[in-house]
Amino acid sequence: MSGFFGVVSRKDCVSDVFYGTDYHSHLGTKRAGMVFIVPDKGFRRSIHSIENSYFRNKFEEDLDEFSGNYGMGIISDTDPQPILFNSHLGKFAIVTVSRVLNLEELEEQFLKKKSHFTGNFEGNINPTEVVANLICEKDDFIEGIENVFDNIKGSCSLLILTENGIIAARDKLGRTPVVIGRNENGHAVAVETCSFPNTGYETEYFLGPGEIVHINEDGYTRLKEPGEQLQICAFLWVYYGYPPSYYEGINVDECRQRCGAALARRDDVEADFACGIPDSGVGHAMGYSNEKKIPYKRAYTKYTPTWPRSFMPQREEQRDLVAKMKLIPNKEVIEGKTMVFLDDSIVRGTQLKDNTVNLRKSGASRVHMRIACPPLLYPCAFLNFSQSRTPMELAGRKAIYELEGDTTDLKEYSDPDSEKYAIMVEKIAEMLGLDSLMYQRLDDLIEAIGLPKEKLCTHCWDGSGYF
């Protein structure tokens, strides 16, 4: 998804930006960068690949080159950032958390105007550079950001670092969060509130959808009022978000425990214990075990010292290898037992199928899988979750294809009370070698989050959402 962290302070902020950005590492897999306004030197930045290493390892050697009271960092799931610009609006640096669906269309429009692009990302133009060009089409930053909101299809939240502070803007439908923190020396702005406590900041304000603010040492000034229409990604609570974080004032881990409890209340299976697939399945499993009043045990332990995240490598076979190697089964816990496993979601199902095989090898008697969200039937159109070369890679769509071939009529398959839904879930369980499979109902998930349905983006489950 990507995540950013910016600071405007009365004292040097390099350490704050370094550690605050690092607390967003779970959100991105490809590139990371930092930029500071260094006294007497101007804008200075650094960008590194994080596909095969961690943010801190890559950037520690750069810290001696940086100083200054204004700076920001980005963990990017897409393009190299930050981008530096010198324009009629002045010098600025920009980072984005975005997905631009109409990138080629915008590229063509700019090229027809005899504009040019200097950035390149995997053979394509840099989406953040496109956003910066859209801003520079207008006479000020406010009009420029509104121009971004009016012209991109997808989503875009951003930070702009200027010599006068940071301008922060949240996606026009609020699909991604932006939050301001403060301490005695200044202010920070981030995607994840979990980046605040250990860097010395307290959460002060959640930006609304489409809201634009200017942030300096003394506080923030609203440049554009928030819109009324909110479509924040529900997957932030289910999977993306880090457990201590809050979105719209709602804590991630508490929501996950409510998700697990909701599954338990609808489940009549008898089991010896509940277990979560580390890491994001753990909160869901704790909620389930507490509600069911059965033990929570670690049938799998995640080996964190050397194995990176399973979605880090870009080649699928490498991702599958990492996913397999990082989870170590504990035969003592597993052998002869009936267990309920909980996870945040099933995307392609490859990792879960391998998990099931390993559990059988370790002597599991029965394996029941409980998933904290509904079946994924539509690839994400707004962020970078559940991205596939084709929708047919999704486990739900593969099951539907086996049942009735290629179809675009998915309405009944997203209805948990329909016969087609039940048959699809049974087919997925068969494909993955499970004794039983249950998905969360969308209405239960919405209740666990605590926001009205119309304020949540649930597109990947039911095909809804504003484009």
Q: What's the first-to-final CA gap in the chain, in angstroms?
A: 18
Is residue 122 over pLDDT 70?
Answer: yes
Q: Could you tell me the pLDDT band of residue 310, with boundaries at 50, 70 and 90?
A: very low
Q: Which two tokens stand for residue 360?
A: 């059988």
Report how far residue 356's alpha carbon sits from residue 350's, in angstroms, rounded to the nearest whole number: 10
* Confidence (pLDDT) at 467: 60
- Strands 3-9 and 179-183, by their bridges, are unpaired
pLDDT digits over 217-267, tens only? 999 999 999 999 999 999 999 999 999 999 999 999 999 999 999 999 999
Report how far residue 132's alpha carbon sits from residue 115's, in angstroms, rounded to the nearest whole number: 12
Please name the amino acid found at residue 52: N
Instruction: Give how far the C-alpha of residue 228 lies from the chain's centroid of Cα atoms, to the nearest Å.
Output: 23
pLDDT digits over 155-196, tens only? 999 999 999 999 999 999 999 999 999 999 999 999 999 999
Q: Which two tokens stand for residue 45?
A: 């930045």
Contact 5, 34 (CB under 8 A): no
Q: Could you tell me the pLDDT band of residue 53, with boundaries at 50, 70 and 90?
A: confident
Q: What is the mean predicted confidence (pLDDT) over 24-31?
A: 90
Please name the amino acid found at residue 61: E
- Could you count the other beta carbons within 10 Å of the beta carbon of residue 332? 10
What's the chain's average pLDDT?
93
Q: Could you tell me the pLDDT band of residue 311, with boundaries at 50, 70 and 90?
A: very low
Maximum Cα interatomic distance, the chain, rounded to a whole number of Å: 70
Q: Which residue has the tokens 């009043």?
A: 293
Q: Which residue has the tokens 């990302």?
A: 121
Q: Which contiguous run of DSSP H or E holds residue 431?
A: helix 419-432
Q: What is the mean predicted confidence (pLDDT) over 17-35?
A: 95
Q: Which two tokens stand for residue 276?
A: 């979560």
Using DSSP's 3-state secondary structure scheme, residue 55 falls into helix
Q: What percent of the chain has pLDDT over 90?
A: 81
Angle between helix 419-432 and helix 395-404 axes, rounded to 10 deg: 110
* Confidence (pLDDT) at 309: 52
- Give the torsion through C-alpha atoms of 374, 157, 100, 94, to 10 deg: -150
- Give the torsion through C-alpha atoms of 404, 409, 411, 412, to 10 deg: -30
Domains present along the chain, CATH in parentheses: 3-230 (3.60.20.10), 253-462 (3.40.50.2020)
Angle between helix 103-112 and helix 127-136 axes, rounded to 10 deg: 50
* Confidence (pLDDT) at 335: 97
Which DSSP symbol is given to 240?
I
Q: Give the phi and the psi of residue 307 in degrees, each rounded to 5.
A: -90, 125
Q: Which residues of 103-140 are buried (b: 16+ CB within 10 A; e: fewer)?
A: beebbeebeeeeeeeebebeeebbbbbbbbbbbbebee
pLDDT digits over 405-425, tens only? 888 789 999 999 999 999 999
For residue 440, what are the CA distances in angstroms to 91, 97, 357, 381, 444? 49, 28, 23, 21, 7
In DSSP terms, 168 is beta-bridged to 159, 213
Using DSSP's 3-state secondary structure scheme, residue 465 falls into coil
For residue 455, what are the CA distances in angstroms to 301, 303, 335, 448? 36, 37, 44, 14
Q: Which residue has the tokens 């980072």?
A: 95
Q: Which residue has the tokens 């105007």?
A: 113
- Could you count the other beta carbons within 10 Å of the beta carbon of residue 368? 20
Q: Which two tokens stand for residue 425?
A: 């879930």
Is residue 51 over pLDDT 90?
Answer: no
pLDDT digits over 71-92, tens only? 999 999 889 999 999 999 999 9
For residue 196, what are the CA distances in angstroms to 43, 175, 185, 262, 443? 25, 21, 14, 30, 32
Q: Which residue has the tokens 């779970």?
A: 26
Q: Could you tell me the pLDDT band of residue 319, with boundaries at 50, 70 and 90?
A: low
Q: Which two tokens stand for residue 29?
A: 């897999």
- Strands 338-343 and 273-276, by their bridges, are parallel
Q: Which residue has the tokens 């001696």?
A: 64
Q: Which two tokens stand for residue 385?
A: 């979750």
For the chain, how are helix, strand and coil distributed in percent, rounded to 5?
35, 25, 40
Is residue 206 over pLDDT 80?
Answer: yes
Choose between 327 and 366: higher pLDDT.
366
In DSSP terms, 76 is beta-bridged to 31
Which DSSP symbol is given to 67?
-
Q: What is the mean predicted confidence (pLDDT) over 48-56?
A: 89
Instruction: Enumerate residues 6+ apart whose C-beta is below 8 A from 125.
Output: 103, 107, 117, 119
